[in-house]
Amino acid sequence: MVFTLSVLQLAAGNKISLNDDISKYLGDIHLQDSNGLSAKATVRQLLSHTAGFGVYGFDEYGHSDKLLTTTQIIFLDPPCIYPKVVQEYILGKHWVYSGDGFMVLQKCIKNISDMPFADFMEKTVLLPLDMTDRTYRQDVTENTTEGYSADFGSDLNGYNLMQEQAAGLWTTTANFAKFGVHLQNILRGKSDLIPQAFVKEMIQPQHDDVLDMENTTCKTGLGCYLKVIHGEAYFGHSGGNYAFESRINFSVQSENGYCVLINTDNIDPMIGKIQDYFLRPA
């Protein structure tokens, strides 16, 4: 969601269009579908996970490993061992969570901004939101919480590094909550970080009851999930990496919301109880 806000910032500045084909921003990178033909998809479809790219995510790396570049991952260049970034599914037919789609968008943003990704996020989102304890840099060496896996106990590295930087935000619950509150303030006309219309677009369903691969109806906005909790409309997201999990949900209609970051995994029941405690009707 934080990365999506940076894309909307560029859209508000007419540096990118949500309805443009992504090939416009990829330079000499040419994506293909499963038949070897040119892939077609818009920025909007990538943000709503309906572009047909199907690599869920990418393995995390240890502290001593050298992270790959987005170009290496997209083109499957050595030493990359991930599945190739290919448009596997029919465009717009299914909702398929696609970490590779966001990796493609990350490359688009790098080309447009001509800045290191972490620096771009710092300038466009993190500093304007006054998020003080946060970074997209993956060379973190201090002030990090050690993660614990439900299956394997303490992670020997304490934490891992993220190949997919667009999903690699390091932050605290207080700073992450600032992000959600700021979006709520924009919706209420109390902030002008970006035009209100773009945040309203972010939390609008981007498809008409598109089914996921299990044929379950899925409602997504741009970079966020949309759901009704205790009769109230919320936008949010969940996160799950080795030995860490998170979930945020913020109300469209009121100031309700919550942000949970936990340094262990397999804790859905616990998060559910936290959600019900804070969001239950008065």
> pLDDT tens digits for 230-268?
889 999 998 887 788 899 999 998 999 999 998 887 777
User: For residue range 199-229, what is the model confidence (pLDDT) as tens digits?
Assistant: 999 999 887 655 554 555 668 899 999 988 8
Give the closest residue to 258 by CA, choosing from 250, 266, 270, 267.
250
CA gap 48, 96 in Å, rounded: 9
Check pLDDT > 90 for residue 75.
Answer: no
CB atoms within 10 A of CB 139: 9
- The two beta strands, 225-229 and 134-135, are unpaired
Average pLDDT, the chain: 85
In this prediction, residue 154 carries a pLDDT of 54
- pLDDT more than 70, % of the chain: 89
pTM: 0.89
For 218-232, give one letter per residue: b (16+ CB within 10 A) or e: bbbbbbbbbeebeee
Q: Domain 2-279, what fold?
A: Beta-lactamase (3.40.710)
**141-199 tens-digit pLDDT:** 677 888 887 766 555 556 777 777 888 888 999 999 999 999 999 999 998 889 999 99
- Identity at 202, one-letter amino acid code: M
| Domain locations in the chain as residue ranges | 2-279
pLDDT in tens, 43-64: 999 999 999 998 887 766 666 6
Helix (DSSP H) and strand (DSSP E) numbers for the chain: 8, 10
